[in-house]
Structure 1
Amino acid sequence: MDNLKYVEEDEERAGASPPRKGDVDGDDFRVIDPESGVKRGLKTRHLSMMALAGIIGPGLLVGSGSALAGGGPASLIIGFGLVGIIAFSVMQSIGELTTLYPSGGAFIQLASRMVDPAFGVAVGWNYFIIWFTVLANEYNAVSSILVFWSDKVPIWGYFLLLWTAFLLFQLCGVSTFGEAEFWLALIKLVGLVAFYIFAIIYVSGGVIGADAIGFRYWHDPGPFADGFRGVAKVFVFCSTFYAGVESVAVAATETKNPGVAVPLAIRQVFWRILFVYMGAAFFFGLTCPSNSDQLLNGPSRALQSPMTVALQNAGWQGGVHLINAFILITCVSAINSSIYIASRTLLFMAQQRMAPAVLGWTDRRGVPIPAIVVANTFGALSMMNVSTGAARAYGYIVNLSGVSTFIVWGAISFTHIRFRRAWKSQGHSAAELPFASLWYPWNAYFGLGSNVFLALVQGWSYFSPFDVGGFIDAYILLPLFFIIFVGYKVIFKTKFWGLAEVDLHSGRRRDLKDANEVAEAEGAAAQPWWRRLWNVI
């Protein structure tokens, strides 16, 4: 029971300064991570729910309306399905890496260790770009929703209130964040289930006063809105909705039991792809015509959602307020998660000399205050959309998240390939891994190749007719990635590691649990059957 002693002692010291590296066993069981200084406060259920429904924001609920209008219901299913296969491949790589190395900066630090420190810097800043653009977009969305309900407060006033509230909430610590995300994600799942049930009843003729529409919209206006061009547009469009599935790797450092939580979270991603993305694609296309004017020209974000169009076509004109409330909840969750991921990305990079050192500081509770403040400050970019002159520039900034996602996903697959080659070169076998990815090496090479391909073709629609602004926006991060890589490599004289030089030992740790059972599962055998069933679900 020595391990429990470490847990009890560290819980008493949770408010003390982060301990220094010393006794390896002690470091494994400390509440404050000795390497990064953050608190290991996330429970297994927190990480599982983040993997299942985290980062589901208005992009899925509203943005899918634009995708549906541009490609049609069949294109929507094809797009979500193909990108889902790529996301599943990348998550298998993340699962293997993060289960073995749950500490110290997730795949950003691993990119530095397995490939080259300069490569890790380029990956890290691209990952931060994803989340500050997503954060700005979510702040803009939630402010617009509140203005739709009441315009007595200007949009910048709503932003300042929200900015302050989210900053104070993030400063409460990771345990509070995890609990909030658990319940917000659960609400999102319940809301989607409710819509799916409504959709089945609606198309079957169960709504009083509404016809049984069946697959009417698959016949008129049809399954494809713009032929192959529409499929290609939706394919690239859908990729941005999947950004965030890899965030479980960022949260692994702050998880109490990563050996249990990470593999479980990785498996949850399969259900997220099937239930959330494929389910939404199917039921949105079933209940909403792709030629609806509201999908592109609705006066509010809620009116641009396929869910709202479906409710109003079924005869409930006031449904816009229900969908507005649902979108508001998803925005709150998305902002909360975006600040968390962006701040931890800055924290880990600063601790590896990839960002200003001040951003690598945490307080005695394990809260990275400077990183949180800086990350949240980037949300102010959302106010650019208030100005007519800056609105176009704001659109370009938000669109950067698309190509950044492909760059980061491709880098994860490449890091995994380098890890496996070094693992084998140094005399290890796949049987030693606590979590082995499916179908290696084919899965990893597929993830690398598909993301490189998508990064190169995602801006193809700007070629004909040629749109200079759109072209630059679509491809500017590709040369920037190599500029960061080369610049850092020249300045700091970093080295591309040989397989025998790769560090395969740092960053491992055991779960914060006793020798027999996970802390959250203590006494599970004595629980009533309904509670055990809930834990399994």
Structure 2
Amino acid sequence: MVELRHLPPSERIESLRDHDKDNAVESSRSIDPESGVKRGLATRHLSMMALAGIIGPGLLVGSGGALSSGGPASLIIGFGIVGIIAFSIMQSLGELTTLYPSGGAFMHLADRFVDKAFGVAVGWNYFIIWFAVLANEYNVICSIFVFWSDKVPLWGYFLIFWSAFLGFQLLGVTAFGEAEFWLALLKLTGLVAFFLFAIIYASGGLIGQDEALGFRYWHNPGAFPNGFRGVATVFVFCSTFYAGVESVAVAATETKNPSKAVPLAIRQVVWRILFIYMGSAFFFGLVCPSNADGLVSGASRALKSPMTIAIQTAGWEGGVHLINAFIFATCLSAVNASIYIGSRTILFMAQDGKAPRFLGRTNERGVPVYAIIFTNLLGALSMMNVSTGAGKAYGYIVNLSGVSTFLVWGAISFTHIRFRQAWSYQGRTPAELPFQSFAYPWNAYFGLAANLFLVFVQGWQTLSPFDAGNFVDAYILLPMFPIIYFGFKVWKKTRYWRLDEIDLDSGRRKDLDKAVKEVTEGLSSVNDEANANSGAKKSLWKRLWRNF
């Protein structure tokens, strides 16, 4: 900042345009001293991850299974209820991670505010989510390429993509963040294009269209073709689609300026829920019938989505290739993000004694090589596709990750409640928090209760008529949480912390917050002086572009 003050106003403007505030704060500390990872994510990277990152073919393809099982109304109800729960979780997470942007995110915070055994159970369940999601993305991407050309076997495509993604992840976190940023923009553009198509199609405005579609498919085959059973089934799919909204907490350690980036990213999640999830649920059910042939393609080589069905029904048979190309682009983002989040989860657990120690090592560039390789290896679970078919494989793996998502979200709410109880017990006030959760404590208790309810109700459809195989698939991970918790507790003799024992001060990065404040105030001073001297030199369009 001293150097900036010695420059003329015009040169200060150019300097500020070329250098991000994040770099001014963290340029001399790019490697996190505790975890060894590189702080290479800019604020725009984390914001775009919160808005549209990690969204992959699960939304575009898996929603076909959800629509078929529950119908258009169930799809909206499922997305809406899980969206409210996700908003609740993000509010709790925002308050915690803004104050404690430490490695390991909510796994580490569960150690501090509940019990280390609790943190172990949360961490392993969260890792299960991401290697299951990763396997699903490999499943989809390989199925698309087999659909385009079956000259290469399914396992051959898997090996090609497995090697390519491994190589890219080893480039480091900055490459990951940049790729996620632009792929997220591509996803937003593609969804906007489909929403516009759906509006025109439903209104009868397509060339050669005889009549308006309207809400035809809400009447035939109906809004709730399978009743409550269908609604319960949709919750499992929706939880998988929403998995990842909490990933900003995992990425906080590798962010240059977490005290600025994390609260901003948390606020972006509202638009993600409203535009991407609720918008997709509405338009998928509007233009695609829930009983469409091939909506859940068990035997087909290509995984079809409601977007594909809608475009083909509208008269463009070749549209399947366009949608598959779009799904492929989302796959690139989803696989990239799944490896990233899974590897960082196991990295932080290993560094904290919850996983094999060798997985906690990073190289001189801050890349967790062993954690990346280990996570990517588990993506081979997608090869069950060879014997079961892509559609069935997708359903099996979704069930594995669905229960874990609800358990982890419930654990975040419970950790937040314990934190606030300790905060109040030790004489602190909410006004001291840099980010306050919306409507605490009601919001946090709602998140806890809702997730516990969904943990049990998500497999309800397997009970009548009873299907032993599907029942085991739906609930097999439910007993794993208490087994890990009590097993680790007995082994390591951990304690459930009393409120007066909870440490509320370590890891708060007070020095970082002070540095950010100083830099922000200095930049504001420079901007004020520069604007006073530059007058109207900066056009409206340039200001809008910079804000965008």
Give the TM-score normalised by structure 1.
Answer: 0.91
Give 2:317's aligned residue: 317
1:87 aligned onto 2:75: no
Count residues in correspondence: 516
CA distance 1:418–1:515, change in 2 (3 Å): same
1:366 is paired with a residue whose SS is: coil
Residues 433-459 of structure 1 deviation map (CA, whole Å, 9 limit, x = unaligned): 111010000000000000011112211
Give 1:137's aligned residue: 136
Q: Distance in 2 between matches of 1:456 and 1:264?
A: 33
Q: Distance in 1 between matches of 2:340 and 2:521?
A: 25
Give 2:518's aligned residue: 515
Residue range with higher mean Cα deviation, 143-152 or 465-474: 465-474
Q: Distance in 1 between matches of 2:319 and 2:386?
A: 27
Give 1:123's aligned residue: 122
Contact residue 144 and residue 300 of structure 1 kept, 8 A = no
CA distance 1:182–1:281, change in 2 (3 Å): same
1:436 is paired with a residue whose SS is: coil
Residue range with higher mean Cα deviation, 189-198 or 487-496: 487-496
Give 1:151's aligned residue: 150
Residue range with higher mean Cα deviation, 280-289 or 501-510: 501-510
Give 1:213's aligned residue: 213
Contact residue 303 and residue 309 of structure 1 kept, 8 A = no
Give 1:23's aligned residue: none
1:534 offset after TM fit, Å?
3.6
1:292 aligned onto 2:307: no
Give 2:304's aligned residue: 304
Q: Distance in 2 between matches of 1:38 and 1:531?
A: 35
Q: Distance in 2 between matches of 1:297 and 1:476?
A: 25
1:505 aligned onto 2:508: no
1:533 aligned onto 2:544: yes
Contact residue 92 and residue 437 of structure 1 kept, 8 A = yes
Residue range with higher mean Cα deviation, 272-281 or 491-500: 491-500
Q: Distance in 2 between matches of 1:188 and 1:366?
A: 29
CA distance 1:342–1:518, change in 2 (3 Å): farther
Residues 194-226 of structure 1 deviation map (CA, whole Å, 9 limit, x = unaligned): 000111111112111113212222222222212
Q: Distance in 2 between matches of 1:478 and 1:417?
A: 22
Identity, % of aligned pairs? 72
1:169 aligned onto 2:180: no
Give 2:187's aligned residue: 188
Amino acid at match of 2:84: I
1:515 is paired with a residue whose SS is: helix
CA distance 1:390–1:213, change in 2 (3 Å): closer
Residues 474-510 of structure 1 deviation map (CA, whole Å, 9 limit, x = unaligned): 2222221111111111111111111111111222222
1:302 offset after TM fit, Å?
5.7
Residues 325-351 of structure 1 deviation map (CA, whole Å, 9 limit, x = unaligned): 010011111000000000000110011
Q: Distance in 2 between matches of 1:443 and 1:388?
A: 41
Contact residue 146 and residue 301 of structure 2 kept, 8 A = no
1:126 is paired with a residue whose SS is: helix
CA distance 1:396–1:74, change in 2 (3 Å): closer
Give 1:246's aligned residue: 246
1:201 is paired with a residue whose SS is: helix
Q: Distance in 2 between matches of 1:247 and 1:75?
A: 27
Amino acid at match of 1:289: P
Q: Distance in 2 between matches of 1:296 and 1:378?
A: 25
1:518 offset after TM fit, Å?
9.3
The 5-angstrom pairing of residues 328-407 of structure 1 reads 328-388=328-388, 396-407=396-407
Q: Distance in 1 between matches of 2:319 and 2:373?
A: 37
CA distance 1:3–1:241, change in 2 (3 Å): farther
Contact residue 125 and residue 408 of structure 2 kept, 8 A = yes
What runs of 5+ residues in structure 2 fail to find an aligned partner? 5-24
Amino acid at match of 2:224: F
Residue range with higher mean Cα deviation, 400-409 or 517-526: 517-526
CA distance 1:3–1:485, change in 2 (3 Å): farther
1:78 offset after TM fit, Å?
1.0
What runs of 5+ residues in structure 1 fail to find an aligned partner? 5-25
CA distance 1:55–1:303, change in 2 (3 Å): same
Residues 100-148 of structure 1 deviation map (CA, whole Å, 9 limit, x = unaligned): 1112110000000110000000000000000011111111110110111
Amino acid at match of 1:458: Q
2:518 is paired with a residue whose SS is: coil
RMSD: 2.5
1:175 offset after TM fit, Å?
0.6
1:417 aligned onto 2:420: no
Residues 161-188 of structure 1 deviation map (CA, whole Å, 9 limit, x = unaligned): 1111111100111011000000001100
2:498 is paired with a residue whose SS is: coil
1:387 offset after TM fit, Å?
2.9
Q: Distance in 1 between matches of 2:38 and 2:523?
A: 17
Q: Distance in 2 between matches of 1:520 and 1:85?
A: 37
Q: Distance in 2 between matches of 1:180 and 1:388?
A: 33
Q: Distance in 1 between matches of 2:311 and 2:3?
A: 55
1:467 offset after TM fit, Å?
1.5
Contact residue 140 and residue 390 of structure 2 kept, 8 A = no
Give 1:11's aligned residue: none
Give 1:179's aligned residue: 178
1:40 aligned onto 2:39: yes
CA distance 1:194–1:392, change in 2 (3 Å): closer
CA distance 1:227–1:299, change in 2 (3 Å): same
Give 2:68's aligned residue: 69
1:294 is paired with a residue whose SS is: coil
CA distance 1:42–1:300, change in 2 (3 Å): farther
CA distance 1:507–1:426, change in 2 (3 Å): same
1:454 is paired with a residue whose SS is: helix
CA distance 1:248–1:204, change in 2 (3 Å): same
The 5-angstrom pairing of residues 458-469 of structure 1 reads 458-469=458-469
Q: Distance in 2 between matches of 1:238 and 1:452?
A: 16
Give the TM-score normalised by structure 2.
Answer: 0.89
Q: Distance in 2 between matches of 1:85 and 1:301?
A: 35
